Structure formats: C-alpha cells, structure tokens
C-alpha cells in the first residue's frame, strides 16, 4: 500500500487518549471559545481523521497566499487549496493571544460543542483584496454566485492559524455511523481485505448508470482488487440531493449490482468546495492518505455549472511536478448510453455516432426527478430511481 502523502505514517489529529481528552475538555472551559464556520469545522474533521496528513492545523496568511499562487506551502510542501480557520473580525483577539489557545465550537451541532482545541500561532487580517485574489487562483473565478467563492468570501477577515487537537467528528459519526470513515479506518479495512490496487470514486451525487459503469471500467482496466466509493457527507449547494438519500441509493446499487467484497461504501466529513481542478488535486491527496492506488477523475470533476472546462480536472495533474503524488488517476471520458451497444460506454471507446447516444448526467437526473417524471432505465437502476423519486415527492 502507498505511503501517506508527505509522511511515512498517517498523522490523524483526533485525540484518542482519554486522559488527554479530559484535560483538553477541562481547558476548553477556561480559555476563550468561538463558533467557527462550517468549512473550518469540516477542515477539523479531515485533519482529525488523517485525511489531510501531513498538515498539523490551520494555515497562516503566508501559506494561504503561497498555496493560492504556487500550490505549495512556504515550506515547499505541495498543497492545492487553503485549509483555514477564518472568522469574522473578533473582539477576542487580545484575550485569545493572552491565553495562547482557543476552543473551537461546532456550528453544525446543537449547543455548539467544542470540536477542537487550537494552539494560536497568529491572528492575522486577510483583506478583501487578498480574499478575492485567493478565490481567483483557487476557484478560477471571483464570481460570488460560485458556491465555493461565496462560502470563502463570507467566512470573515480574521485568519487564526496554528496546530489543532480534534475532539470529535462533528455530526458525521452520529448521522452516518455505518458510512463515515476516517482515513485510518479505510486504510485498516483495505489491509484486512488484502486489497492492493484500489480505485477511488468521488461523488457528491447519487450514482447513476454512467457512474456505475465508470467504476467497472476502471476496475477492469486497472485489474483493481476493489473500489472505494467515497461520498461527500458535508454541506452542499442548494438543490443538491441530501447525503442520507445519496447514501441509501448508493448502498442499494452496490448491494444489487456489484459482486460481494469488491466495493467499500464509505463517506468523509467535508464541505464541498466546487473548486474543480484544484479540488481534484485535493481529492487525490486524501485518497492516497486513505490507501488508494488510483482515483477516477471524470468529466467536470468537482465542478459546478460552466466555471471549468470538461477535462480541466484531469489536465491539471499534468502540470504538477512528477513524483508529487504516488496515487495515479484514471481518466474518464464522456459516458453515454449507446443504443447500438446496448450499454453505457465511454465515447472514446465506442465506434458509433452521436445520434446513437443518450447523454447521461447527474444534472439531467435531478431535472427529470424535479419534474415528477420517471427516470429511464438507461439513466438509473430502477431500485435507485425509486429511492430518488420518493425523496423528490416529499419536496
């Protein structure tokens, strides 16, 4: 199995030692505390679970600007997106600096329990111009209608950097007990299954027929031992299908249409960035940390609307220094239902013409469902379509 990214071993920041946990919880009652953004809480979950190995906490302003411009920290470590704790201008600056630590409270759980304790290295102001510059470089746009830009721009102008110790995994453990897994847990399960070649599939949507077949194609071409279906469980843009519905539909598809012990259905606690190419690189890093050998990168991976080219998330891998990542990508083409072939195909592998194709997309699936219509069998397995249709009837 590949080594974790930038490290000989995984570096999860979740505190398992009970004495240390008790000490930190006692500290949390005596030091300043602040309710952080959903994005910062999700970063804590990813750091806690080892997904963001080898990072030790939140970046400072110099690292944020360096990551945006050069895709590397000031230390030279390759990293494609900022990992930050940005908050509105705080009146607690003097108090926080005096204490040296701050309790970070979860915005997504009732009563805002402490999710992590942060050692405060710096509290810096990131001005609006810098926020705009970082957005332009990371998201490829400053358009406030872009959901990632909107979330980043609204987080606040105070940047609190420093190492963290994570106390819990927010709502992900309780709401998705059978699906949420840390990078540590996934690595351990891959070892238990004796898998060596493992292909990861990233999704924030229910898996329609094209996704299903893309996984099969990758597994066959790579002779992979197994597939990691790794779904995002965090916050999405308005209109996307909720995580519990996605979870149910994906599990039903795997149960009925994949051989036993060939697919792991898991999820991770992160808020979608919709950063297209930059987010594809981040996806590769934390799938390497989870023990995967390959990541499927298909059309418009991690994109939204028409902000990115169809295959920008593939070509960006050609621009990073060779040997940066051990994980490799499997490049998916446009997937379509070919009436002459009678199955889902990648257009590059099919000899037929455009008039023989039915284009498949998650967007079109959502449109059909929102109109109260039935999904055609070329789009979705009937058992999956039933779950999705029942959800849309409740809206």
> 144: alpha, beta or left, given left = phi > 0 and alpha = psi -120 to 50?
alpha
Tokens of 338: 């070919």
3-state helix, strand, coil in the chain (%, to 5): 35, 20, 45
Catalytic residues: 204-205
Asked if 327 contacts 293 with a C-beta cutoff of 8 angstroms, the reply is yes
- Report DSSP state, residue 72: B
- CA-to-CA separations, 57 to 312, 315, 354, in angstroms, rounded: 29, 29, 49
- Report DSSP state, residue 79: -
- CA-to-CA separations, 106 to 34, 113, 195, 304, in angstroms, rounded: 9, 6, 36, 27
Distance of CA 153 to the CA centre of its chain: 19
Tokens of 232: 């995002």
How many CA atoms, within 13 angstroms, populate the side-chain half-sphere of residue 327?
29
- Report DSSP state, residue 169: -
Distance (Å, whole) CA 72 – CA 76: 6
Closest by CA position to 349, among listed 207, 223, 216, 226? 216
Backbone φ and ψ of 338, nearest 5°: -100, 120
């Amino acid at each position: 199995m590949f080594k974790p990214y930038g490290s000989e071993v995984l570096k999860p920041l979740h505190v398992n030692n009970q004495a240390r946990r008790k000490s930190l919880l006692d500290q949390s009652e005596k030091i300043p505390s602040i309710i952080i953004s959903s994005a910062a809480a999700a970063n804590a979950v990813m750091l806690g679970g080892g997904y963001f190995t080898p990072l030790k906490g939140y970046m400072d302003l110099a690292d944020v600007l360096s990551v945006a411009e050069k895709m590397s920290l000031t230390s030279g470590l390759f990293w494609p997106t900022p990992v930050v704790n940005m908050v509105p201008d705080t009146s607690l600056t003097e108090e926080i600096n005096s204490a040296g630590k701050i309790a970070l409270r979860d915005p997504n759980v009732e009563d805002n329990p402490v999710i992590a304790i942060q050692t405060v290295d710096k509290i810096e102001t990131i001005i609006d111009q810098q926020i705009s510059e970082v957005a332009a470089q990371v998201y490829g746009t400053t358009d406030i209608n872009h959901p990632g830009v909107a979330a980043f721009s609204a987080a606040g102008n105070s940047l609190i950097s420093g190492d963290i110790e994570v106390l819990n995994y927010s709502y992900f453990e309780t709401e998705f007990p059978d699906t949420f897994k840390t990078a540590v847990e996934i690595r351990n399960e891959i070892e238990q299954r004796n898998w060596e070649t493992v292909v990861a599939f990233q999704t924030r949507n229910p898996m329609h027929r094209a996704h299903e077949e893309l996984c099969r194609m990758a597994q066959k071409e790579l002779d992979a031992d197994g597939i990691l279906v790794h779904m995002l469980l965090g916050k999405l843009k308005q209109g996307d299908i909720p995580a519990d519905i996605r979870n149910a539909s994906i599990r039903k598809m795997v149960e009925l249409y994949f051989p036993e012990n060939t697919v792991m259905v898991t999820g991770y606690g992160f808020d979608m960035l919709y950063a297209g190419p930059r987010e594809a690189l981040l996806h590769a890093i934390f799938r390497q940390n989870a023990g995967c050998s390959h990541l499927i990168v298909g059309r418009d991976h991690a994109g939204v609307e028409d902000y990115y080219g169809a295959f920008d998330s593939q070509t960006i891998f050609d621009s990073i220094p060779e040997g940066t990542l051990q994980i490799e990508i499997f490049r998916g083409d446009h997937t379509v239902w070919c009436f002459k072939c009678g199955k889902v195909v990648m257009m590059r592998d099919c000899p037929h013409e455009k008039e023989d194709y039915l284009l498949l997309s998650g967007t079109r699936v959502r449109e059909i469902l929102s109109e109260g219509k039935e999904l055609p069998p070329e789009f979705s397995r009937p058992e999956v379509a039933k779950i999705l249709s029942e959800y849309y009837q409740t809206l």
